[in-house]
Copies of this chain bind each other. A is one copy, B any other.
Amino acid sequence: MLGLVAEGPRSGYDLAQVAARSTGYLWAPSRSQIYKVLPRLVERGLARSTAIEQQGRPDKAVYEVTAAGRRTLRAWVETVDDDPDGGAPIFLLKILFGFVSTPDAIRGQIAAYRRLLERNLAAFERQEAGLTEDEPVYSLIALRHGIARARATLAWADEAERLLG
């Protein structure tokens, strides 16, 4: 949410739509969740809100990131964790909010993501090799899913590094 606020000044209502579009594939909070978290960002000094009067509607509360908020976001984007709690989507979110940091930091995230993918791929392949004939096809199908995705994502990592220049 801090990242979405850092993209530009937004109301809670706006945020719900922006989130669905931009991070929606990775993470999308409900409107009620947004209205709970936003005041917390202000409490912690990471964002500030400005009331905007409107006619025939409730006042709009527009949130903006503060300098401290930007620093906090940047620190998060630059923190390297080879096996983050939220899994792969964390890497993608950090990439998406790369604009608060440097291309080098993002290269670091891609490298960490690559390491996770390589570990996962190796684990899947080991499991695949260990499958016996009495096991249902379903296990194999699920394993092949993981393998296909890991390989494709590794290929994407090459492309991503090229795009970063």
Contact = CB atoms under 8 A, between A and B. Distances in A.
Interface string A26-61: 000000000000000000000000000000000000
A148 interface: yes
Contacts of A146: 25
Interface in A144-160: 144-146, 148-149, 151-153, 155-156, 159-160
Nearest to A150: B152
Main secondary structure of the interface of A (DSSP, over half): helix
A138 B25 contact: no
Given A120-B25, A146-B25, A141 B160 contact: yes
A11 to B, nearest CB: 22
Interface of A: 22, 25, 92, 95-99, 106, 120, 136-142, 144-146, 148-149, 151-153, 155-156, 159-160, 163-164
